[in-house]
Structure 1
Amino acid sequence: MNVFDHLFDTSKHLEKDFLLGSKETVSFEKIYSESLKIASYLKATVDQNQHITLISPNSAFFITTYLGILKSGNICVPLNFAIEQGNLDYILNTTESATVFISKPLKRKLKFNTNIHLIDEDESLEIIANQAIVDIDLDFDSNRVAEIIFTSGSTGEPKGVMISHQNIIANTDAIISYLKLTSNDVMCVVLPFFYCYGLSLLHTHLKVGGSLVLNNSFIFLGSIINDLKNHKCTGFAGVPSHFQILLKKSKTFKTEVFPNLRYVTQAGGKLHTVFIDEFTEAFPTKEFYVMYGQTEATARLSYLPPEYIKTKTSSIGKAIPNVELKIVNSNGETVTIDEEGELLARGENVMLGYFKDVETTNQVIKNGWLHTGDLAKIDKDGFIYLVARKKEIIKVGGKRVSPKEIEDVILAIPEVEDCIITGFDDELLGEAILATVVLNNTENKEHMTDKILKECSKHLSLYKIPQKIVFDKTIQLSATGKKRIK
């Protein structure tokens, strides 16, 4: 089955609105029919199995284009709308993409070869107005590639993760199951759709007949609070920085009442325990789902049920439905309780492989198991705890240090608003530890340096104490909300 037909199986003729909000309100029926027109146009003009690029912020234009590409039997390549020209050129050349759907502001900003057909919102509306819907083969191999999501590669070149129609179907159904989503759910979306976490919100709410409120202005915290209240949102999904910013920078968020908010989800990295505690204390009746996943697994691999948020706070939980997880040591043997090893995953949501990169695919998928590159351990109750990503581990004098452990200590200091731990070259130690710290309303950096070092010495071994502490006004975020050093 084509994933388009799976997602619209029961929702295609709903008269209710799928998109809610002041900027765009669009019904299920309109999304369905306009996506079919885009699919029909592509079937007539480019046939199928072609790579079609999509560059746009979250919008009805993105959604109808994305769904139309999937339905047409072509392969969607959704790209970060903040993409650098060099990466864009690389991806267009690698995928041989000759058709690009692009929002008008980005069309003016980015450069394209003259042989590439650019379709903006205006041309898309013309297609929708004039295109007749044609029959598209329903006898469809669900193991065909549906989309390629590019992630940053270790060599500097982006890696294309090939996701099949079946991958999306399997992951969508599993997420709906454990979040208990229904047609009554309304999700406030701040995550971009070019990111697998953002796409999972689109997929799940289409499937159950729920609704989305698109908010592309997270820096305006008042707009988030207003959307949650005005549109009676039942769900909010974010990466760690979203929760940190709401808790630290909004003066009113923790005192607000959100009567319709049923649950929140957090993935895209570890949210430090201090922030989970702060959120759950402010909103004790809201369900807090800690989740873990990778683009290579379509989106999701594990979740921590809300009832364990107090007793297993730093755990990523257990496998989602129809996924197997195990932790193995360097010999490939399953670890014992509290023993560190690499986390492996198996299920229908695991990618087909990396685009045009068989060698790396074979390094990451072995005997049907996805090697996540994450170090983890398991407790006596079967709950999994991430220790660190292999590539994030800092080796100080041969000893392995997880940045997250040090960040936990520093972020617990009241004057600290944000912190990121990285390594730097050191002749004696090989690597040494650098703490980049954002302070909250204090200018006495010398005093704060002493306080940070004292707190670290109380809770950490000597080799884990930062050798350098620098202060900055902010820590830069990527378009998906993940932290990075400038």
Structure 2
Amino acid sequence: MFLDIDKKVKSDIAAIDDYSSRITYGQLCDFSVAFNSYITSRTLIFILSENCIGSLSGFVAALSGGIVPLLISSNTERGLLRRLIEIYKPSCLWIPDNMSDEFDYKPIYHNSGYVLLNTGFPQYPLYEQLSFLLPTSGSTGSPKLVRHSYNNIAASARNVASFFELKSEDRAIGMLPMHYTMGLSVITSHLYAGATVLLTKKSLTDKEFWEFVKVNRATSFTGVPYSYEVLYKLRFFRMDLPDLRLLTQGGGKLSDQLFREYAEYAEKTGRRFIATYGQTEGTARMAYLPADLATSKTGSIGKAIPGGSLSLCDDTGIEINENEATGEMVYHGPNVTLGYATNPDDLLKGDENRGMLKTGDIARRDTDGCYFIVGRISRFLKLYGLRISLDEVEQMIKSGFNIDCICSGDDEMMKIYITEEDKKTVLHEFIVEKTGLFHKAIEIIVLDELKRNEAGKTIYI
């Protein structure tokens, strides 16, 4: 079965959710057998996911039975969902019970708050190594999907479990959405280790979230930069969490100030703080900074994960061999996904990437071989002859003013979105001074709120 769940201790708990539901590894195996009796192997299905037992069980069962799921949020905009169904024509939908009235499809199986609907669409050929599909991290209204192989997900789960040193007694907080690549990585790596995943849909600011964490004695927390910004405002360093031993961060660059503070907190309290780097196209994690380097390599993503390698290329695609250099970061490894899909015919395609991924990120490599993300290739402007990194400007603002912001624009104007009116004038002067830009090339816009997706990542304007 998927990740050898049938070889785990049957009575050990695989997952607990905040509905107080729990499932053992033995029950997960039994569920998989029952689920797969209703669907033919090598069939495409959609899972409208939530962080709960029903969603996790359906995903594990599908991969155990050779069924290929597209994992998308149950909150997916209904117009996009209908478009995806129309394009890809899945044989079944595995959805929350409370959504079943939205569809005219026949229910054929109920379990754990989810229902399996038969759409009536005929089965069509799929690539034999295609295991599951995820939306691209930037997808908002696009049918573009990332194709994962069985080797991709197995290598990712194995390697993440290895460098996090996961054990069967670990209990991870599964707060990030499971349809988000890093949220799914938390689940698969802990299932690989025979550990327990604590699935929750609660927010960090909910009292119930922290009760759930404490009652279930969570041992690790994984978050994106925004998660760590919220924790800081909640005075996380003063919280009494005796079971928490591991803090992991990914999904973007954490400000140097917060990186340093979390690294120092972990060192002082005997915990581990591990920064990671990844993309959906790399099955979540591709690099990590060992905990013992966290206080000396502020802001670094470290080196490649076990089984992978990182390199830098110049503008012409030629590898840069100098020890200390800057260029586009390229990753090689078994977790690099097969390629993209935009229609059903693409689901028959084989491995187009062949283990190599051009990340689209500009990185700096230091003399110790550690990598530091500078910014996205697509996140640079050329204003009045000056090359400006929007990511660097965001980091300058967050570090200098301790406020949230979004930077965007084009080669005529840089736009900076904030939520605090009283910072508008001083921020404008600060950016002019730091970048050397003409003041009319910068526009500061005040919004009521800055939008983020379910994983807490910024939605750029």
Structure-2-length-normalised TM-score: 0.88
| Structure 1 residue 417 displacement after superposition | 3.2
- Pick from 290, 294, 307 the counterpart of residue 279 of structure 2: 294
Selected match of 1:187 from 160, 172, 177: 172
1:228 maps to which of 180, 204, 213: 213
Show the counterpart of 1:39.
36
Query: Does the CA-based 8 Å contact 1:152-1:158 persist in structure 2?
Result: no
* 2:170 aligned with 1:196: no
Q: Which residue of 2 aligns with 1:65?
A: 58
Deviations 1:179-222 (Å, cap 9, x if unpaired)?
00001111111111111111111111112111121120115343
**SS of 1:161's equivalent?**
strand
**Contact 2:375–2:392 (Cα < 8 Å) also in 1:** no
* Equivalent runs, 1:222-261 vs 2, <5 Å: 222-248=207-233, 250=234, 252-261=235-244
- State how far apart, in whole Å, the 1-side matches of 2:194 and 2:139 are: 39
Q: Aligned in 2, Cα 1:475/1:122: closer, same or farther, shift over 3 Å?
A: same
Contact 2:53/2:112 (8 A) holds in 1: no
Which residue identity lines up with residue 26 of structure 1 in the other structure?
A: I
Measure how far apart 1:396 and its partner are.
Answer: 1.9
Contact preservation (8 Å) 1:59, 1:214? yes
CA contact (8 A) 1:9 1:207 kept: no
For 1:361-415, what per-residue CA distance to the aligned partner results, in whole angstroms no more than 9, with x for missing partners? 99x966652111112221111011112112222232343322221122211245x
Contact 1:142 1:166 in 2 (8 A): no
Specify the alignment match of 1:468 in structure 2.
443
Going from structure 1 to structure 2, the CA distance change for 1:317 and 1:49 (only over 3 Å counts) comes to: same
- How many pairs align? 446
Uncovered stretches (5+) of structure 1, i.e. residues with no partner: 128-140, 425-429, 440-444
Counterparts of residues 428-439 of structure 1 (less than 5 Å): 430-439=411-420
Q: Partner residue of 1:418? A: 404
Query: What is residue 144 of structure 1 aligned with on the other side?
Result: 129
Contact 1:436 1:470 in 2 (8 A): yes
420, 430, 453: which one pairs with 2:428? Answer: 453
Structure 2 CA distance for aligned equivalents of residues 399 and 204 of structure 1: 44
- Contact 2:364-2:371 at 8 Å conserved across structures: yes
CA drift at 1:464: 9.9
Query: How many angstroms does 1:462 deviate by?
Result: 3.4
Corresponding residue number in structure 2 for 1:270: 253
Q: After superposition, where does 1:94-243 map in structure 2 within 5 Å?
A: 94-108=87-101, 110=102, 112=103, 114=104, 116-117=105-106, 121=110, 144-151=129-136, 157-218=142-203, 220-243=205-228
**In percent, how many aligned pairs have the same letter?**
27
Match of 1:132 in 2: none
Partner Cα separation in structure 2 for residue 433 and residue 456 of structure 1: 10
Aligned to 1:136: none
Deviation at 1:459, TM superposition (A): 4.1
- Cα distance in 2 for partners of 1:89, 1:421 equals 32
Q: 1:125/1:431 Cα in 2 relative to 1: closer, same or farther (>3 Å)?
A: closer
Offset of residue 120 of structure 1 = 7.4
Q: Is the 8 A contact 2:287 2:301 kept in 1?
A: yes
CA contact (8 A) 1:55 1:80 kept: yes
Question: 3-state DSSP class of the match of 2:203?
Answer: coil
Q: Which residue of 2 aligns with 1:355?
A: 341
- Of 173-182 and 286-295, the range deviating more from structure 2: 286-295
Helix, strand or coil for the counterpart of 1:310?
coil
The 1:143/1:371 distance shift into structure 2, 3 A limit, reads farther
Among 358, 379, 401, which residue is 1:392 paired with? Answer: 379
Could you tell me how far apart the structure 1 residues matched to 2:406 and 2:108 are? 40
Asked if 2 retains the 8 angstrom alpha-carbon contact of 1:50 and 1:75, the reply is: yes
User: Does the 8 Å CA contact 1:200/1:299 hold for their aligned counterparts?
Assistant: yes
The alpha carbon displacement at 1:79 in A equals 0.8
- Amino acid of the structure 1 residue aligned with 2:381: I
Alignment of 1:379 with 2:360, yes or no, is no
> Match of 2:403, SS?
strand
Residues 90, 420 of structure 1: CA spacing in aligned structure 2 closer, same or farther, 3 A cutoff? Answer: same
Give the Cα separation in 2 of the matches to 1:461 and 1:260. Answer: 48
Alignment check: 8 A CA contact 2:156 2:189 kept: no
Distance 1:349 1:142, change over 3 A: farther
> Helix, strand or coil for the counterpart of 1:462?
coil
- Does the aligned pair in 2 maintain the 1:98–1:117 contact within 8 Å? no
Higher mean Cα deviation, 298-307 or 97-106? 97-106
Contact 2:18–2:201 (CA under 8 A) maintained in structure 1: no
Deviations 1:4-43 (A, max 9, x none): 343315315234453265521222221221122102222x
Contact between 2:146 and 2:281, CA under 8 Å: does it hold in 1? yes
Q: Is the 8 A contact 1:143 1:165 kept in 2?
A: no
Q: CA deviation at 1:457?
A: 4.8
CA–CA separation in structure 2 for the residues paired with 1:142 and 1:155:
26
Amino acid at match of 1:477: R
Equivalent residues of 2:338, 2:352 under 8 A apart:
no
Q: Cα deviations across residues 137-173 of structure 1 (Å, max 9, x unaligned)?
A: xxxx996111011126689523211111111111111
Distance 2:139 2:438 in 1: 27
**Residue 452 of structure 2: aligned partner:** 477
- In 2: Cα distance, 1:258 partner to 1:278 partner: 17
Structure 2 residue aligned with 1:307: 292
Structure 2 CA distance for partners of 1:421 and 1:297, relative to 1, 3 Å:
same
Counterpart-to-counterpart distance in 2, 1:74 and 1:16: 24
Q: Which moves more between the two structures, 178-187 or 394-403?
A: 394-403
Residue 382 of structure 1 aligns to a residue whose secondary structure is coil
Alpha-carbon distance in structure 2 between the residues aligned to 1:54 and 1:270: 30
Normalised to the residue count of structure 1, the TM-score between the two structures is 0.83
Distance 1:459 1:183, change over 3 A: same
Corresponding residue number in structure 2 for 1:442: none
Query: Greater CA deviation, 29-38 or 449-458?
Result: 449-458
Q: State the superposition RMSD in angstroms.
A: 3.0
The SS at the match of 1:431 is coil
